[in-house]
Amino acid sequence: MSLIWRYISRYNSVLFFNVLGAFGFVFVELGLPTMLARLINGTIAGEGRGHILQITAIMFGLAFVGLVGRVIVAYTTSRVTTNMVADMRDDLYKKIQTFSHEEFDRFGVSSLVTRVTNDAFVLMQFAQMMLRMGLMTFIMMFASFFMIARTSPSLSWILLPAFPVLLIMILVVGKKSQPLSDAQQKNLDNINGNLRESLSGMRVIRAFVREDFQAERFETVNTLYSTVSKKLFRLMAWNQPLFSHIINLIIIAIMWFGSGKIASGNLQLGNLTAFIEYSFHALFSFMNFAVVFMMYPRASVSAKRIREVLETESSISPNETGITETETHGYLVFENVSFAYPGNTSTPVIKDISFTAQPGQTIAFIGSTGSGKSTLIQLIPRFYDVTKGRILVDGHDVRDYNLKALRAKIGFIPQKALLFTGTISENLRYGKGDASHKEIEEASEISQAKEFISRKPDKFDEHLAEGGSNLSGGQKQRLSIARAVVRKPDIYIFDDSFSALDYKTDASLRARLKKETGKATVIIVAQRISTIMHADKIIVLNEGEVVGQGTHKELLKTNQIYYDIASSQMSKEELA
Ligand SMILES: Nc1ncnc2c1ncn2[C@@H]1O[C@H](COP(=O)(O)OP(=O)(O)OP(=O)(O)O)[C@@H](O)[C@H]1O
């Protein structure tokens, strides 16, 4: 509730009209039976046509006010709740953007998607119910009781037993539905996760002819979701008919006792009619209020999930007031750096690594798979923070930098090239919005992408599908390199970014890149010896430790692991 209030209270003036509309509506709904009672009583008492006309005119007027009240409530409710959910999603998105990879790993991408889409939607539905019905029924309930007591205090007692019964029903349903709502949202996370994985991995699924297997997996999570949903809806399904049944019993009782009172001359017919109407309003308001209350557990689960995201502080602080300018550019120092993934602190993936890199130098990392190469380079732009030791960029600890300024120094080219929906030029300008056409052309030339771009019908305006899926792996890698080159960073980090290129393109790209990155520091992770053999320094990693450093020639002589990798890829003549 507090989360919803935090958002809807931003629209106080619209809310004011909502409350006004609700009061107007209640006034009319209770005013009409009051007028009806006067009409019936007056007619029976033999008051003339003038009286009937007067009351009918007032009832017309009231009905019109009621219409306006309803429209105001519906309009203001829709306005406030759509704004609420839009604001909430904006805040969630902004928050998620600040998350480090640790938080992404912890929440899981699918769960974050469900929280932003479905959980926010559940809250919107709840807020709509609350504003449309909750407030109105609340006012209606109290106003009806007042009118009931005023019309016939001696009949009012009939209503009393209904409320504890209805209250117990509400509480039982509320208590039972909370864990079911919780499970329902978690199962929805699982459906999302399953769907994400299987849709993005469709090619692998087809290649391995595992459609049936995947369909079974989907069916399992889908069945789990529907089983829990059925339980929840079954619980809800009993409610409304039971409520209506109790209300009907009470109305019958009122008619029974009311008729007795009319017969004995203690109650007028018009007053009984109005009393029944008031009782309907009181009981139905209570029922509607109960519906809102029963939606509460589900909404509170969603609110909790949204609050979890909004209240999570990123383990990597953006350090807004940190260093933004440095005197030197491209100096990189690792000082006894160790790192363990969060939640796995007992087994460090990087162990006590030290090295230095200077502008103009190329430092390469090689090692068996899982030796920690990708992890190590992710520490430089602070995707994760070191567990021990420190990393210095241009003489300052990376943690002392303004995070954006630190990342602006770095051109990171990830292992898996990811492009965004849009044109090629939009993708190339991703890191430098104001780059000229000449700059993006130059960058694509350096990254050996210009040739295939020129063969595209729309050249740089060629549209790329989601994730760049209408390009080959090598083309995506070349564009992802060009995107980094456009920024002209101080430090380039290539995380096995040449793996999808053929040997010839790989060689020409590195030759052009060498010229371009003359003053920059280049860090390369690669599996291919040919990609890194010309590096100024090659660092051999094994199980997170440095087991050798030197040039290609030196390592061939001194390092067995390096020699083994090299000999598996090069001929004897090349090795000699
Ligand atoms: N997000 C993560 N959470 C926990 N452990 C991880 C995570 N990412 C990687 N690891 C583990 O860290 C170790 C090093 O992985 P890393 O990706 O750095 O190796 P790599 O040398 O780059 O391998 P490759 O050459 O296959 O890409 C591996 O044992 C891996 O299982």
Segment 512-526, tens digit of pLDDT? 877 877 788 999 998
Query: Facing residues of 521 across strands?
Result: 491
Give a three-class secondary structure readout of 468-493.
HCCCCHHHHHHHHHHHHHHHCCCEEE
Report residue 117 CA to chain centroid gap: 6
Coil, strand or helix at 450: helix
Dist. CA 249–CA 412, nearest whole Å: 72
Kindly state if the Cβ of 161 falls inside 6 Å of ligand 1.
Answer: no
Quick one: pLDDT at residue 575? 66
Give the domains, in start order, of the chain with CATH numbers: 7-310 (1.20.1560.10), 325-409+491-512+521-576 (3.40.50.300), 419-488 (3.40.50.300)
Contact 144, 276 (CB under 8 A): no
Kindly state if the Cβ of 373 falls inside 6 Å of ligand 1.
Answer: yes
Q: How far is the CA of 367 from the centre of ligand 1 (A)?
A: 12
Q: How far is the CA of 480 from the centre of ligand 1 (A)?
A: 22
- Length of the chain (residues): 576
> Which range among 55-64, 234-243, 306-315, 394-403 shows the weakest confidence by mean pLDDT?
234-243
Contact 343, 491 (CB under 8 A): no
Note the pTM of the prediction, 2 decimals.
0.75
Q: What average pLDDT does the segment 190-198 reach?
A: 87
What percentage of residues in the chain have a pLDDT greater than 90?
Answer: 34
Kindly state if the Cβ of 359 falls inside 6 Å of ligand 1.
Answer: no
Q: Tens of pLDDT along 287-345?
A: 887 777 777 888 888 999 999 999 998 888 888 899 998 888 889 999 999 999 987 77
In this structure, what DSSP letter does residue 133 have?
I
Contact 556, 562 (CB under 8 A): yes
Quick one: pLDDT at residue 192? 84
Q: How far is the CA of 373 from the centre of ligand 1 (A)?
A: 8
Q: Tens of pLDDT along 334-376?
A: 999 999 998 777 789 999 999 999 998 999 999 888 889 999 9
Which of 375, 380, 386 is the pocket-test mutation for ligand 1 (most atoms within 8 Å of CB)?
Answer: 375
Closest atom of ligand 1 to CA, residue 374: 22
- For the chain, give the mean pLDDT: 87
Residue with the smallest CA separation from ligand 1 atom 29 is 370
Which of 99, 109, 341 is the pocket-test mutation for ligand 1 (most atoms within 8 Å of CB)?
Answer: 341
Name the more confident of 238 and 549.
549
**Residue position matching structure tokens 């959980």:** 119
Kindly state if the Cβ of 349 falls inside 6 Å of ligand 1.
Answer: yes
Contact 496, 374 (CB under 8 A): yes
44: left (phi over 0), alpha (psi -120 to 50) or beta: alpha
In this structure, what DSSP letter does residue 387 have?
S
> How are beta strands 521-525 and 362-367 bridged, if at all?
parallel
Contact 229, 298 (CB under 8 A): no
* ipTM score: 0.95
